[in-house]
């Protein structure tokens, strides 16, 4: 989003015009940014057999999935429903990696029926998988490296007490199950969390993967997960992708030489691909003075963007309607009947009732984590690509809230 001639635009399209056409609240995505982020990762690791598996959970709209497929991405999914959405978007089964957690074995069987790749992170499921499929269906194993990395503790998933992955302490048991049922292990995977800004974390993961891999002779790939830190505010320290590639590429090449053949290098990024592309546009409904602050109440809330309340996440807020206004301090809150704060003590250009505010970095885990809490409908979504704005999801209506309810007479 750029300020040009005192008006905010995305690829030359007026942000306020989008709100007039489609209403608010409104999610808007910059497709050029999405493709650019994917290309950045692909180019950084050029020279290797690299596969980028976009983490669909970040944003699952079909238009986004199709755009990424066209740009050369494959897919990482965590539910059968996400897998089916990927197939509907045109991904071939072998382009989809299914990495579930705490699911029933019936869901694993459904994944095999669909022909998608499978990532197992539980010894119990691995044993059932071996009993059912033996050597006929290959699978990947997700390891828990006991590395606590990332930002908020709620998004750290590689620590010793995590529900994700099979502990590296249990590798001998993994080998016992694999040997007993002659399971073909085609990949190893580690993912430690989100908001990782230190390339050293990935080098730690690499050493664990490289050591473990030497005992699995049929590997085709090593999956380093993702969690790349993106900038949420001015001056944020982010992961330097080029620095990571500079250090990881030679280490990976040296490992492949020891292993005896070249393997594929996989990543499964979500946030770094779509986060900075997205904006949640909301309308300032009311201004309310308290003895300690000026509150801006907007026509949206944690039902549309839960990250500030769930993770204490920071999202920059911009007054799109009055970019030349004097700076004042505001607390921006939502309309949900809960503590529902988007930002405390924010310096914004003077806000007037009716102004449009933009919450930046809302592309990842915004709409995909939205809900109908308070019986509020979810927003429309617009994708801007190659200078054209297209509606990619209609705003919900009361009919959508009632669609699956069954009337009962008493």
Whether residues 287 and 335 fall in one domain: yes
The mean per-residue pLDDT over the stretch 351-371 comes to 97
Whether residues 342 and 200 fall in one domain: no
What domain range includes position 362?
2-29+275-402
**CATH number where 260 lies:** 3.20.20.10
pLDDT range class, residue 100, cuts 50, 70, 90: very high
Q: Is residue 409 part of a domain?
A: no
Q: How many structural domains does the chain have?
A: 2
Q: Is residue 55 part of a domain?
A: no
> Residue 391's beta-bridge partner residues?
382
Which one is catalytic: 19, 139, 256, 337? 337
Whether residues 125 and 241 fall in one domain: yes
Q: Is residue 252 part of a domain?
A: yes
pLDDT per residue as tens digits for the range 290-339: 999 999 999 999 999 999 999 999 999 999 999 999 999 999 999 999 99
Of 250, 269, 288, which marks where a domain is finished? Answer: 269
Q: What φ, ψ does residue 391 adopt, rounded to 5°?
A: -70, 125
What span, in angstroms and rounded, lies between the C-alpha atoms of 378 and 280?
A: 12
Q: What is the pLDDT of residue 156?
A: 43
Average confidence score pLDDT of the chain: 93
Q: Is residue 153 part of a domain?
A: yes
Of 269, 297, 326, which marks where a domain is finished? Answer: 269
Whether residues 23 and 99 fall in one domain: no
pLDDT range class, residue 252, cuts 50, 70, 90: very high
pLDDT per residue as tens digits for the range 21-73: 999 999 999 999 999 999 999 999 999 999 999 999 999 999 999 999 999 99
Whether residues 95 and 238 fall in one domain: yes
Whether residues 219 and 356 fall in one domain: no
Of 227, 245, 269, which marks where a domain is finished? Answer: 269
pLDDT per residue as tens digits for the range 188-247: 998 877 667 677 888 888 999 999 999 999 999 999 988 887 888 787 777 788 988 999
What span, in angstroms and rounded, lies between the C-alpha atoms of 97 and 100?
A: 10
Q: Is residue 312 part of a domain?
A: yes
> Residue 152 pLDDT more than 60?
no
pLDDT range class, residue 159, cuts 50, 70, 90: low
Residue with tokens 């910059």: 30
Q: Is residue 280 part of a domain?
A: yes
Q: Is residue 12 part of a domain?
A: yes
Q: Catalytic residue at 337?
A: yes
Q: What φ, ψ does residue 292 adopt, rounded to 5°?
A: -125, -10
In Å, what is the CA distance from 133 to each residue of 105, 175, 410? Answer: 12, 16, 50
What span, in angstroms and rounded, lies between the C-alpha atoms of 316 and 343?
A: 8
> Residue 332's beta-bridge partner residues?
296, 343
Q: What φ, ψ does residue 285 adopt, rounded to 5°?
A: -85, -45
Whether residues 218 and 118 fall in one domain: yes
Whether residues 207 and 140 fall in one domain: yes
**CATH number where 8 lies:** 2.40.37.10
Whether residues 260 and 300 fall in one domain: no
Whether residues 168 and 228 fall in one domain: yes
What span, in angstroms and rounded, lies between the C-alpha atoms of 351 and 296?
A: 8
Q: Is residue 139 part of a domain?
A: yes
Whether residues 181 and 222 fall in one domain: yes
Q: Would you say 326 and 349 are in contact if contact means Cβ atoms under 8 Å apart?
A: yes
Whether residues 221 and 310 fall in one domain: no
């Amino acid at each position: 989003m750029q300020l040009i001639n005192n008006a905010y635009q995305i690829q030359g399209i007026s942000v306020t015009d989008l709100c007039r056409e489609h209403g608010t609240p409104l999610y808007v995505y910059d497709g050029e940014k999405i493709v650019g982020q994917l290309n950045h990762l692909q180019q950084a690791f050029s020279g290797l057999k690299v596969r980028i598996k976009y983490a669909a959970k970040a944003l699952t709209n079909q238009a986004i999935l199709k755009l990424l497929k066209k740009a050369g991405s494959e897919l990482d999914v965590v539910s059968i429903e996400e897998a089916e959405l990927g197939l509907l978007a045109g991904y071939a089964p072998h382009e989809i990696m299914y990495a579930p957690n705490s699911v029933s074995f019936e869901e694993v069987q459904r994944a095999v029926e669909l022909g998608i790749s499978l990532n197992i992170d539980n010894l119990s499921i691995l044993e059932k998988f071996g009993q059912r499929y033996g050597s006929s269906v290959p699978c990947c194993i997700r390891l828990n490296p006991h590395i606590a990395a990332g930002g908020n503790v709620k998004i750290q998933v590689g620590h010793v007490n995590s529900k994700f992955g099979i502990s590296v302490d249990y590798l001998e048991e993994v080998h016992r199950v694999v040997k007993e049922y002659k399971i073909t292990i085609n990949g190893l995977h580690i993912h430690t969390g989100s908001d990782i800004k230190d390339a050293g974390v990935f080098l730690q993961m690499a050493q664990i993967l490289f050591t473990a891999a030497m005992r699995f002779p049929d590997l085709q790939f090593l999956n380093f997960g993702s969690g790349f830190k993106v900038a949420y505010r001015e001056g944020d320290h982010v992961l330097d992708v080029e620095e990571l590639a500079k250090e990881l590429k030679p280490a990976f090449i040296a490992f492949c030489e020891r292993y005896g053949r070249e393997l594929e290098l996989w990543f499964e990024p979500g946030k770094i691909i779509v986060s900075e592309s997205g904006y949640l546009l909301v309308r300032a409904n009311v201004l309310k003075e308290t003895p300690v602050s000026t509150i801006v109440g907007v026509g949206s809330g944690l039902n549309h963007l839960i990250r500030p309340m769930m993770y204490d996440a920071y999202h920059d807020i911009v007054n799109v309607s009055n970019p030349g206004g004097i700076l004042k301090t505001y607390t921006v809150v939502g309309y949900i009947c809960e503590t529902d704060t988007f930002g405390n003590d924010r310096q914004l250009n003077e806000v007037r009732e009716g102004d449009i505010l933009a919450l930046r970095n809302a592309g990842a885990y915004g709409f995909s984590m939205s809900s109908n809490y308070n019986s509020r409908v979810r927003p429309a979504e617009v994708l801007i690509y190659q200078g054209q704005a297209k509606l990619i999801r209609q705003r919900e209506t009361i009919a959508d809230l009632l669609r699956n309810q069954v009337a009962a007479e008493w």
